[in-house]
Structure 1
Amino acid sequence: MHAADKGFFSRLASFNDSFASNLPATLERMAAVAAGLDPRAPAAAANELQAMLHTVAGSAATFGYRGLGHHARALEQRLRVLMTFDAVAASDWASWTSELGQFVEAGRRDPRGFN
């Protein structure tokens, strides 16, 4: 193996370790932001959640968390749809935040074995 390859794989392993070590805090932050989401004025919380979900969805598969990434992408896409409407029923927000809660709980239990 070339030195450049060793350096690449070393950096990739470091990024993988960083993703894994930051994931619990990311999941906790998602839960906290979702808990504070006000259906009457959801923009700030929804934007933060969208950014976090986008990051997790984009990185997860690279680091061996394929199922987690797939679910993060699905939640992100549903959130984007909700954000496009001027008015969304509180029950629709509640349904979405419930799904996010299930995602967070499953991620806490077993982020690599996420189904």
Structure 2
Amino acid sequence: MATPVDPDFRARLAALNDKFAATVPATLDKIRAALALCVAGGGQPPQDALHQLHEVLHGVAGSAGTFGFTVFGQEARRIEQMVRAVLNGQGAWAPVVPEVEKLLAWAARDAKASHYD
């Protein structure tokens, strides 16, 4: 087996994973706040609120897997795509809300879990 160029690589990666894990509660708060803005008026959410929700989900989708939160990232990506469809006028908003709520509840229990239920 080849010796890594950087012998401290695994230690630094573990530190980054820990740092990401520490941000999960704040990230969930951001998702929760963006969802609240989306549902505040009832009916179709304002575009800026949808953009905010999309942005935070996109951030999770893009980084979670790198730091060992694979399922969290996959589910965020799936819901992000639902939000994007709403933004583009090609999807319904109503199914998004329970999906975001389910993601929030699941991630609050264990965002690093390997199964999504």
Q: With the length of structure 1 as denominator, give the TM-score of the two structures.
A: 0.81
Q: Identity over the aligned pairs, expressed in percent?
A: 35
Q: Alignment length, in residue pairs?
A: 110
Aligned to 1:57: 61
- Across the aligned residues of Structure 1 and Structure 2, the Cα RMSD in angstroms comes to 2.2
- Equivalent residue for 2:106? 106
C-alpha separation in 1, matches of 2:4 and 2:65: 26
Given that residues 34 and 53 in structure 2 are in contact (C-alpha distance below 8 angstroms), is that contact kept between their aligned partners in structure 1?
A: yes
- What TM-score, normalized by structure 2, do the two folds share? 0.80
Unpaired stretches in structure 2, ≥5 consecutive residues: none
* Amino acid in structure 2 at the alignment position of 1:12: L
Mark the CA change 1:41 to 1:67 in structure 2 (over 3 Å): closer, same or farther. Answer: closer
Task: State the alpha-carbon separation in 1 of the partners of residues 57 and 83 from structure 2.
Answer: 10
The corresponding residue for 1:42 is 46
Post-superposition shift, 1:41? 4.9
- Supply the distance in 2 between the matched residues of 1:63 and 1:80 (Cα, whole angstroms): 24
Alpha carbons of 1:41 and 1:68: their partners in 2 closer, same or farther (altered >3 Å)?
Answer: closer
Change (3 A) 1:94 1:109: same
Structure 1 unpaired stretches of 5+? none
